[in-house]
Structures are given as C-alpha cells and as structure tokens.
Structure 1
Amino acid sequence: MSERTDSYDQRWLTELETTLSHEFEAQTARLTELTADTGDPAEAHTNAALIAATRQSLDQIAGALRRLTAGGYGSCERCGTDIARERLEILPHARFCVPCQQKQKG
C-alpha cells in the first residue's frame, strides 16, 4: 500500500471500493437497458443523452477503482497533494483537489 492511501482510513477505503463496485454494476446494467432498441424514434434523442451520461459515470467509477487498486486514490492528478477526504466522500471519483479543479475549469 502506498503512503498516499495510508493517509486515509483503510476501512473507509475498503467500503468505498465496495460501494464503487456496486455502483459500477448498477450503471452497467442501466447502460444495457438503455442500449436495448425500443424501436421508438421519439426516445432516441433522450436515450442518447442518458447513454452518454451513463458511460461518463462508468468511466469515472472505473478510474476511481483503478486509482484505489494502484494506490494513487486521493492524490490530485495535477499537483500531487492529498484530496480532502470530505471532497472524496461527496465526489468519490474526484481526480483533482479543489484549487486544481477550479484552475481546470477556469
């Protein structure tokens, strides 16, 4: 385990990994349902947006799970500092600390 993940409670990280894994499974099932062809052209535009949002969610969850496995979870990808646990509790897939996220969007 890396020093970075040592700064977070191991039990919390284990629970987070379980929660993210369940969310990944749920989003995968949702994507399967959304991509089933209903034959209704009126739903095509709405479904396309839902599919895109679900795929983005899956990418974010998968990234968080990869960082957990690799030991880099909770480290800002821009400056390398620890991301506040409070931020990760609200946004478990966060890749940047708040200041770097603001710079990223700004």
Structure 2
Amino acid sequence: MSTDLRGAADQERITRLRATLSAEFETQTARLTELTADTGDPGEAHTRAALIAATRQSLAQIGDALRRLAEGGYGTCERCAAPIPAERLEVLPHARFCVPCQQKQG
C-alpha cells in the first residue's frame, strides 16, 4: 500500500472514530441529563448515584479521547508512547494505554 493510501485509510479510520466518540458523548450526555432528573423515589437514590458516577466517568474518558484526537496524540500509549493497535481502539475507542501498560496500570 502506498503512503498516500495508508494516510487516507488512517484519516478515514480517525474520522470514523471521531464520529463514534462524538455520538457516544451525546448519548452519555443525554443519559446524564435523564439520570439527574429528580424522580422523587428515595429507593432509587443509591442506584441513580452509581449510574451518574459511571456516566460522568464515561463522559470524561470520551472527552479525553476527543481531546487527544484534536491534539494528535490519539492512539499513542500514554505510558510507553507505543502505538495502540487499531483493533483495541475499535473495541475501546477511549483507550489511553496499550494492553501491556493497561495490565501494569491495574
């Protein structure tokens, strides 16, 4: 594959990932809005708090991934600076670490 074609394929993959991350960000934002609406049911308070925390964490991870895309650092392990395999990014688009570093991270 020529460098131009590889570059075009990489750009297409990044464009797809950005669209996926943006759509997921919108979904999670809507979910957070829904979760923070007070239903008045005190029995749901603990579950609702856990869901809100998980949704906020997801939004932060997606926001960080979008920032890395904008800054050009997306797809590079934050620990060892090795490229994160495309397959991993397709499964976990907000991945910050390669698998070996993630395992060390715990």
- Shared fold by TM > 0.5? yes
Residue 101 of structure 1 corresponds to: 102
Give CA deviations for 1:53-105 in whole Å, capped at 9, x if unaligned.
10011011001000000000000000001001111111100000111111111
Quote the offset at 1:29 in angstroms: 0.6
- The amino acid of 2:23's aligned partner reads H
Matches of 2:12 and 2:90 in 1, distance apart? Answer: 13
5 Å matches for 1:79-94?
Answer: 79-94=80-95
Question: TM-score, normalised to structure 1's length?
Answer: 0.90
TM-score by length of structure 2 reads 0.90
Q: In structure 1, what residue type is equivalent to 2:77? A: C
Say whether residues 1:10 and 2:11 are aligned partners: yes
Partner of 2:40: 39
Number of aligned residue pairs: give it: 99
Q: Residue 26 of structure 2 aligns to which amino acid in structure 1? A: E
Please give the residue correspondences for 1:7-86 in structure 2 after superposition, counting only pairs within 5 Å: 9-86=10-87
Aligned residues: CA RMSD: 1.0
Structure 2 residues without counterparts, runs of 5 or longer? 1-6
1:37 counterpart letter in structure 2: D
Secondary structure in structure 2 of the residue aligned to 1:9: helix
Q: Give the Cα separation in 2 of the matches to 1:84 and 1:19.
A: 17
In 2, Cα distance between the equivalents of 1:71 and 1:87? Answer: 18
Amino acid at match of 1:99: P
Aligned to 1:3: none
Runs of 4+ in 1 over 6 A off after TM superposition: none
